[in-house]
Structures are given as C-alpha cells and as structure tokens.
A = this chain, B = another copy of it.
Amino acid sequence: MIFASDNWAGVHPTIARRLSEESGGFAAAYGSSELDRKIEQQFNKLFEREVAVFFVATGTAANSLALAAVNRPGGVAFCHREAHMIEDECGAPEFFTHGARLAPVDGEYGKIDPEKLEAEIARFPPDFIHAGQPMAVSVTQATEIGTVYSLDEISEITSIAKSHGLPVHMDGARFANALVALDLTAAEMTWKAGVDIISFGATKNACWCAEAMVFTDPDMARDLPFIRKRAAQLFSKTRFIACQFDAYLQDYLWLDMARHANDMAKRLRNGLTASKHVRLGWETVTNEVFCILDKTVAENLKHHGAVFHEWNMPRSLQNQVLHNEILIRLVTNFATQSEHVDQFLDVLG
C-alpha cells in the first residue's frame, strides 16, 4: 500500500532487462554512440518533427536548464504558484539562471489562470529596467495536483506567451500520464499547441533514471550542449540512459504504464468517493488523488501499512474542513496493483 510517490517504485521488468542487455561491449561515450543517435530518431518520430534531445540526470535539471537556455539578464519566468520549480527544487532554476526570478501566477486546480498571467506579465513593461524582463512561461502537465490542462487551456496560455514574445516550457515530469488522460499525441500536446521546450520525464514512470529535455525548435538549443556540460549533467555512459528510453518508448510501453497508473488512481478515486470516511479534495484525472480525512483515520491507515504524504491544505479548502481533518496525497504508478488499492479501501472502510 505504497502511495507516497511515483518515484518510490522501481523499474519496469522490460526496462530492467534492456539495461542488463546493454551492460556488455563497448560504445562511444558522452552521447556519441549509435544508440544515442537511434533514440534521437525515436524522439523525432514521437514528436513528428526534428527535435533536439538532451538527457539530464533529474527533472530539476531539465526544468532549470530549459530556463537557462532562454534566459535574459534580469529574467522573469512565469509559472503556477504551486509549480514544482517553485516549491520543490531548492532554488535550482534560480541558480542555473544566475538569479532569474520565478513569478508565481495563481489559478484554480493547479493551472495558471490566463487573466492572471496577463496581469503578472504586465507588471514587467519591456523597457522598465527596474523590474526585470520576462523570459519564459512554464506550465506543468500533468499538474502537481493531478489535474491536466486541456488542449484549449494550453493554447490560451501559449498564445499569451507568444504575444509577449515568450517561449513556453512544459514541465512534463508526468508527461505520459497527461497524454493518456487527454488521449493526445506528444506533438498535439506540445508544439502544435505552442509549447517550445519539454522536460520529458520518464523516471517517475518506471525508469530508474531517464529525463530528457526536448526542444521542438533545435535552433533554440544551440548552446545547450555547452549549457548541459557546464551544468555537470552530461553522463559519460549515456547509452545507459538511451537504452532505458529505447525500452520505454517501444511498443507503447510508456503509455501503457501511464494508463495503468491512471487507472489505479481512478479505482482509488471511485473507492474513496464511496467511502463515508473521506472526501476528495478535488477531481483529478491522472495518477494522483487528493482526499480529506480525519487525522485518526489517516493514522489507522498508516498503522495498517499504508504509506502516503500529508499535503498542504490549499486556501480554497481551508474553510471547508473540520479542525481534525487533513489533506493527503495518494500517488499510483506502474507497479501499483489493484490489490494494493483494494486493501487500502478495505482498511479505510
């Protein structure tokens, strides 16, 4: 009954096997092997155009270097107030951009409100040097709280960004979960909707370590080889990341795993909705579920072996909860079994 985070899970057997197979022989290092080339081709296919792909060690690296690639002096990037970049990366985006600022934008359900984005950008007039200058907009898809931007919502954000000349980054730590939730192709959810750079995460979805930066306009990535190397993010034996992606992208494994995770979350949601001991915090469609419950109920679940994290109660819910109630996050993944879910629901009652 582990619902703590998707990165508590291990590696899918197919990917583990692929890693083992790769262990022998010799291959050129630092991204120069044939396998590296092959994976780049796979990304081109996946995105239905020539893209530039760069492996990095962590999602934080992908997000930070994406901003670094488009940064300007006194730069300001706009993202949702609860974005991972702001909440959970210890200032890495600011560090890699030499002090750019992340301007938080509010919005319901973890999604940037377009009007508020406009208002926030307006606080930085192009020639007003005292405030700084806008340099990017970043959306998180799926969001940190289990929701997704619809295609229209993405387009609305990217239109605003473009009208101000700003590139758009998508933090796709849970890219696959969003894709299957919306039933879109990678191309549709990104560049066809105006997204320029994607943090393409696979680690949370059953790889042991596989994060890629995807630039849908390779020109934008011109300096990225140097940016990445200088950031100490160029693995020597890159083929061991490449082979994870090889297995990951083959035969729709990645989408199947994400679908499974989403399905497990749905099963969980359904059970939670039926229980009289909890209520959902809000509707989610990917592999995260948030629910409100009494502390003692949570304690009992833990006592029976359930593992999960308490979550900050959002302001909008603070008036709707009782004194003893808390918010918890439950995350599913490729390794979550329906038995885990059912056992959790049984204990809950």
Interface residues of A (CB under 8 A from B): 2, 4-5, 7-13, 15-17, 19-20, 22-30, 56-61, 64-65, 68, 72-76, 87-101, 127, 129-133, 203-204, 208-209, 223, 225-227, 229-237, 240, 307, 335
Contact = CB atoms under 8 A, between A and B. Distances in A.
A236 B61 CA distance: 12
Contact of A99 (B99, B132, B223, B229): B99
6 contacts: A19-B20, A65-B232, A68-B73, A89-B230, A132-B226, A231-B232
Nearest to A19: B19
Contact of A226 (B23, B26, B90, B234): B90
B7 A237 contact: yes
Count identical subunits in the complex: 4
A226 B99 contact: no
B57 A29 contact: no
Contacts of A227: 73-74
Nearest to A27: B8
Given A4-B28, A90-B230, A101-B94, A58 B235 contact: yes
Given A25-B10, A98-B95, A208-B240, A130 B229 contact: yes
